[in-house]
Chains A and B, each alone.
Chain A
Amino acid sequence: GAVVSQHPSWVICKSGTSVKIECRSLDFQATTMFWYRQFPKQSLMLMATSNEGSKATYEQGVEKDKFLINHASLTLSTLTVTSAHPEDSSFYICSASPGTASEYGYTFGSGTRLTVV
């Protein structure tokens, strides 16, 4: 149980275009999902907390107008990288939990490799 699906696994886009990444909880409902960014050979940096039916909460230094998050249902959160530039190239990972952290921990998607050319 507790499967999180992320799509696409990788995407290449031209500079200036927008890219949407989907994160789905397949067998549970998630009122909260998390979006992380990971640079090569580095740790995960929390970008934002996605809340179903309300605005996302962004971490300090993350541009909310560049990284648009929508959590329209209890099983789907999307991250849209708007007007992407090469410096946005990175590995993006989402996570969610079917319940409390103490009981279930967090389940991660398989990640999306974004390359902006």
Chain B
Amino acid sequence: AQSVTQLGSHVSVSEGALVLLRCNYSSSVPPYLFWYVQYPNQGLQLLLKYTSAATLVKGINGFEAEFKKSETSFHLTKPSAHMSDAAEYFCAVSDTGGGNKLTFGTGTQLKVEL
């Protein structure tokens, strides 16, 4: 079975500050890992994905994430937060066996303050 754990259901940063959203995974096989963003009453938008290529993955809107196998982590970062980054962020894992099922973390609500 695979799972992801997102530490911190709420994260608050100042505009211009570093954003760090934590995600740790558990998987019996090499995983695919994803970060999605959700704005209120909307679907999910893919920020980036790790699929066993480069361990440092760059996504949209200035976000990036690094896959660290030794730490079973896939933390999401952005050097400088913008007000428009305020949203719910979900980490998700999918197995590489072709099942294509996504298992989501519990989400982290990012608040950006002036």
Q: Interface on A for B, CB 8 Å cutoff?
A: 4, 6, 32, 34, 41-44, 46, 49, 91, 93, 95, 97, 101-103, 105-111, 113
Q: Indicate if the CB atoms of A101 and B100 lie closer than 8 Å.
A: yes
Is B34 among interface residues, defined by CB-CB distance under 8 A?
Answer: yes
Q: Tell me the B27-70 residues at the A interface (CB within 8 Å).
A: 32, 34, 36, 41-46, 49, 51-52
Q: Indicate if the CB atoms of B96 and A102 lie closer than 8 Å.
A: yes
Q: Indicate if the CB atoms of A101 and B94 lie closer than 8 Å.
A: yes
B9 to chain A, nearest CB (A): 9
Q: Indicate if the CB atoms of A101 and B51 lie closer than 8 Å.
A: yes
Q: Indicate if the CB atoms of A108 and B96 lie closer than 8 Å.
A: no
Number of chain B residues whose Cβ lies closer than 8 Å to a Cβ of chain A:
24
Q: Among the listed A43, A44, A113, which residue makes an inter-chain contact with B41, where contact means beta carbons less than 8 Å apart?
A: A113
Q: Among the listed A103, A107, A111, which residue makes an inter-chain contact with B46, where contact means beta carbons less than 8 Å apart?
A: A107
Residues of B close to A32: CB separation below 8 A: 100
Q: Indicate if the CB atoms of B41 and A105 lie closer than 8 Å.
A: no
**C-alpha gap A102/B97 in the complex (Å):** 11
Q: Which residue of B lies closest to A94 (CB)?
A: B43
**C-alpha gap A41/B90 in the complex (Å):** 12
Residues of A close to B106: CB separation below 8 A: 42-43
Q: Can you report 7 A-B residue pairs in the complex whose CB atoms are below 8 A from each other?
A: A34-B102, A44-B104, A46-B101, A106-B46, A106-B102, A108-B44, A111-B42
7 additional contacts (CB under 8 A) given A41-B109, A43-B104: A32-B100, A93-B43, A101-B32, A101-B51, A103-B51, A106-B46, A110-B42
